[in-house]
Structure 1
Amino acid sequence: MSIRAAVVKAWGNAPVYDSIDLPAPSEDQFRVKVLGAGVHTLVRSRAAGKHFSMAGKNPPHVPGTDGVGSIDGTNQLVYFNALLSPTGSLAKEINLGKRDVFPLPEGADPDTIAVLVNPAMSSWMALTARAGIQPGSNVKVAIIGATGVSGQTAVQISKAFGASEIVTIGKPGLKLEKTKELGATALIPLAEDLTETNFSAAADVDVVLDYLWGDVSSAAFAGIINARKNKSQRLNWVEIGSLAGETQPIPASLLRSANVALLGCAPGSWTFPELYGQLPGMLEALVKGAVKTDFEVKKLEDVESWWNEKGGARPLVKL
């Protein structure tokens, strides 16, 4: 069967709107009609061939890691994860393992779910699978890179978890100020000279969700550890993204001076059975917590023209 999809034909090039062959689903699969799919940072990284999950793979590649759709022949609306699928979600239809498909909770907005689950997944899995925190815990959280989509979602996820303190760290401005409305209890604006930033508001946190790494994380690591009054209090530092750089120096003396654990969060650091065990609860939390974000609707057939646009809200491809 031939269907229309976004297709990357060379790493680094924008996808083109083209036809692909989609075989009939196996007994262990559903055929899902895609209704909406978010174009996340992960989606772009994989489409450029730069993400570690694409190692050894070659184009053609259909981008898209998840989405919302309806199971073929039914009106059942579902969220689906496409990381284990041979084709991505920027396509009219997709074959998915039955374990990769989850019914939408009552009251869910399909567009919001399509845009938000991926950025929500990073903080949810960081807190649960990596830091060992469960919803309802009286946890104190700091979020580095809180002005991006994933960071702002992490603020709302932390609030839904029942965090008693949520400290947001990022560039000064309206986006950082907005985190107050989302649930932040304290803000740390980054100074132009990062080493001059006052990180004392995050001195007592239990978990750091780090979306930036690089020089920002290096300054924050030293600032938070040095300001910590009880250095034996466990600090789980969860590295999620690397928008500020792939590497950062960490002085050995800092690691020895405090009870700090460095953890990564992505497929590989957690398993898909762990993720799938958490997804129903995460979907419920997104709906009950009224978690929200801005997005901009795009057309699949125009993918080549808008793919390289910078700035603005996260694209949502509606089909």
Structure 2
Amino acid sequence: MQAAVITDFALPPVYREHPEPVVAGENEMLVDVLAAGLHHLTRSRANGSHYSSSGVLPIVPGMDGVVRDTSGRLRYVVLDDPALGTFADRTVIDARRSVVLPDGVDPVRIAAAMNPGMSSWIALRRRIAFEKGQRVLVLGATGNSGRLAVQIAKLFGASQVIAAGRDRARLRELRALGADEVITFDEAEKAAGVDVVIDYLWGDVAAGLMLPMLRARPDRSVPLTWIQIGSMAGPDAAVPSAALRQARLQIVGSGIGSVPARDIIAELPALAAAVTDGSLQVQARAVPLSGIAENWEATVGERVVFVP
């Protein structure tokens, strides 16, 4: 079969022949891959920088995707940091880490939306006790995950969603997706009254925003929950000690390890339904897997989805 193979953490995958996968475990099944998204997580695992990376080469990247099982059913699957991922004609999955999809779904849309959408969906549903009527700031809202986070917060009943980013043109687009207000990073005081921050950036951006936001809060006794999901602005943030003392600030993380796999899997059918019925809008671009090297660094705009 054909697959994209990583043999050097510093280089993009190479599209080449690869041995056929073999089923070995009790709950495993051989599946045909129909569509697999190129996510930031996939790239960071493939270059060895993600905390969940095994560090062992060679690997076939691809941590999720839409597959067809031997009975002909479509499934969305999440793999557990495998040596053989979804950037291949076929792979082996653990059926317990998959959900059967309804008839009529678009595999490309599902593959494009599930991973970036899962980040905020799981954070709001499983990491904190989010309540309807709360106000949300999405920090890093112009990326694919941020665009979906704006929509998901509204879908879950947020009374106000503020989208923050650098690109003013892309920020303006978010109003059509449900953002009540769009701001740049030097306008932190406009988000001072939110209840929840969904943070895809971290780094100096998050550290620089915390104190101005907290000092501008109309009532510092009202809790502010800061959910750290991504680190596009840097893996480390020098959080001022004063930020933890002068307001009711709670910082939590949401990602692999902080949420049990069973809880993640339990949320997938509802997320897939929201993508399928149009409740969530996603930008997707299908690319043949043979073109992976040329599209490996694609980061802006439509989510790249590799297809056989």
Work out whether the TM-score is over 0.5.
yes
Contact 1:85–1:96 (CA under 8 A) maintained in structure 2 = no
Tell me the amino acid that sits aligned with residue 159 of structure 2. Answer: S
Contact 1:198–1:223 (CA under 8 A) maintained in structure 2 = no
Name 1:252's counterpart in structure 2.
Answer: 241
**Could you say if the C-alpha distance between residues 312 and 158 of structure 1 is closer, same or farther in structure 2, counting changes exceeding 3 Å?**
closer
**Could you say if the C-alpha distance between residues 315 and 172 of structure 1 is closer, same or farther in structure 2, counting changes exceeding 3 Å?**
closer
Q: Once the two structures are superposed, what CA deviation does each residue of 1:27-66 show, in whole Å capped at 9, x if it has no partner?
A: 31222111000000111111111111114x3110111010
Tell me the amino acid that sits aligned with residue 126 of structure 1. Answer: A
Compute the RMSD of aligned alpha carbons: 1.8
User: 1:311 deviation in Å?
Assistant: 4.2
1:68-83 paired onto structure 2 within 5 Å: 68-72=66-70, 74-83=71-80
Contact 2:199–2:228 (CA under 8 A) maintained in structure 1 = yes
Question: 1:204, 1:107 → 2: CA distance?
Answer: 42
Name 1:103's counterpart in structure 2.
Answer: 100
Q: Once the two structures are superposed, what CA deviation does each residue of 1:79-113 show, in whole Å capped at 9, x if it has no partner?
A: 11113544111011111111112112455322111
Question: 2:80, 2:271 → 1: CA distance?
Answer: 18
Question: 1:116, 1:9 → 2: CA distance?
Answer: 28
Question: 2:104, 2:206 → 1: CA distance?
Answer: 38
User: 1:289 deviation in Å?
Assistant: 4.7
Contact 1:34–1:93 (CA under 8 A) maintained in structure 2 = yes
Name 2:273's counterpart in structure 1.
Answer: 284
Question: 2:33, 2:49 → 1: CA distance?
Answer: 25
Which deviates more from structure 2 when the two are superposed, residues 11-20 or residues 197-206?
197-206
Tell me the amino acid that sits aligned with residue 132 of structure 1. Answer: A
Name 2:56's counterpart in structure 1.
Answer: 58
1:126-205 paired onto structure 2 within 5 Å: 126-133=123-130, 137-190=132-185, 197-205=186-194
Question: 1:292, 1:309 → 2: CA distance?
Answer: 20
Q: Once the two structures are superposed, what CA deviation does each residue of 1:215-263 show, in whole Å capped at 9, x if it has no partner?
A: 2112221222111112111111011111111222222122111111111
User: 1:308 deviation in Å?
Assistant: 3.8
Identity of aligned residues (%): 36
Contact 1:115–1:314 (CA under 8 A) maintained in structure 2 = yes
**How many corresponding residue pairs?**
307
Tell me, yes or no, if structure 1 residue 235 matches structure 2 residue 224.
yes
Question: 2:104, 2:250 → 1: CA distance?
Answer: 38
| Unpaired stretches in structure 1, ≥5 consecutive residues | 191-196
Name 1:94's counterpart in structure 2.
Answer: 91
Q: Once the two structures are superposed, what CA deviation does each residue of 1:252-279 show, in whole Å capped at 9, x if it has no partner?
A: 1221111111111111111111111222
**Could you say if the C-alpha distance between residues 260 and 106 of structure 1 is closer, same or farther in structure 2, counting changes exceeding 3 Å?**
farther
1:208 to 183, 186, 197: 197
Name 2:282's counterpart in structure 1.
Answer: 293
State the TM-score, normalized to the length of structure 1. Answer: 0.91
Contact 1:160–1:285 (CA under 8 A) maintained in structure 2 = no
Question: 1:286, 1:133 → 2: CA distance?
Answer: 21
Name 2:113's counterpart in structure 1.
Answer: 116
Question: 1:49, 1:24 → 2: CA distance?
Answer: 26
Name 1:194's counterpart in structure 2.
Answer: none
Tell me the amino acid that sits aligned with residue 91 of structure 1. Answer: A
Tell me the amino acid that sits aligned with residue 133 of structure 2. Answer: N
User: 1:24 deviation in Å?
Assistant: 3.0
Tell me the amino acid that sits aligned with residue 250 of structure 2. Answer: A
Name 1:23's counterpart in structure 2.
Answer: 22
State the TM-score, normalized to the length of structure 2. Answer: 0.94
Question: 1:207, 1:114 → 2: CA distance?
Answer: 27
Tell me, yes or no, if structure 1 residue 304 matches structure 2 residue 293.
yes
Tell me, yes or no, if structure 1 residue 226 matches structure 2 residue 209.
no
User: 1:25 deviation in Å?
Assistant: 5.2
